[in-house]
Structure 1
């Protein structure tokens, strides 16, 4: 099952490339990682954004994988074809979440940080007279 059209296209193109190169479908590893939500909104630019995020992944074969965000391992699975992990996200800028197999990334997704108000560089000075 695909989580989005983009994932479906990636899987379809991967399958076509594997077919053209002569690699069998059983030899190819396809891993899909999805973050929900994938956007965190802060009130003002530069402030830390907080959100509860759920990472879901699936693969076409059992794998030993670890979920990591910015070099911090959150969860690992042994010989699984799918997994889910919920965590507290806290960052002031966009972060990359990766699924690693033996320290090598197999899939990645990002949590984008947006803001409502842009930080103002000009300080407002109030004068009474």
Structure 2
């Protein structure tokens, strides 16, 4: 009795786990994908440099642009395309997001973020004053 219950539980969990893995694979590719999505600098506050490959798999053929989210600066545009690649020379001391927009409507279709991390945090020293 217990062996059947354990077998069914393991089988159910295995099926659930495989569906979750497939969902994560689909989400990781998505419409707009940047590799690497993380940039590591040595110290906090230092500029991080990386060569990032941005891949776009748009749902339909059209005119698209990639732009920075904060500054709204357009980096590259493509006409009558649904898949394309862009090489980004990333340099920043903070995480930045990039958007895929439709050229005609300027609607944001997808967003990806390149996170900036560091190895060493800046430590603030407490200064204690002594009279003697």
Match for residue 117 of structure 1 among 117, 120, 123? 120
Partner of 2:77: 76
Partner of 1:8: 26
Question: For the residues of structure 2 that align with 1:72 and 1:60, how far apart are their CA atoms?
Answer: 23
Bigger Cα Rg: 2
Question: For the residues of structure 2 that align with 1:87 and 1:9, how far apart are their CA atoms?
Answer: 22
Partner of 2:47: 48
Structure that is richer in helix per residue: 2
> Deviation digits for residues 40-82 of structure 1, max 9, x if unmatched?
0000011111111110011231021100123221110111010
Shift of 1:8: 2.0
Partner of 1:89: 90
Shift of 1:104: 1.8
- Normalising by structure 1, what TM-score? 0.70
Tell me, yes or no, if the aligned pair for 1:49 and 1:91 is still in contact at 8 Å. Answer: yes
> Deviation digits for residues 69-122 of structure 1, max 9, x if unmatched?
232211101110101000210111110010011322100100000000001122
Tell me, yes or no, if the aligned pair for 2:31 and 2:59 is still in contact at 8 Å. Answer: no
Question: For the residues of structure 1 that align with 2:43 and 2:34, how far apart are their CA atoms?
Answer: 23
Structure that is richer in strand per residue: 1
Question: For the residues of structure 2 that align with 1:99 and 1:45, how far apart are their CA atoms?
Answer: 29
* RMSD of equivalent CA atoms: 2.3
Structure 1 stretches of 5 or more lacking a match? 12-30, 125-129
Structure 2 stretches of 5 or more lacking a match? 1-21, 128-132
Question: For the residues of structure 2 that align with 1:10 and 1:56, how far apart are their CA atoms?
Answer: 11
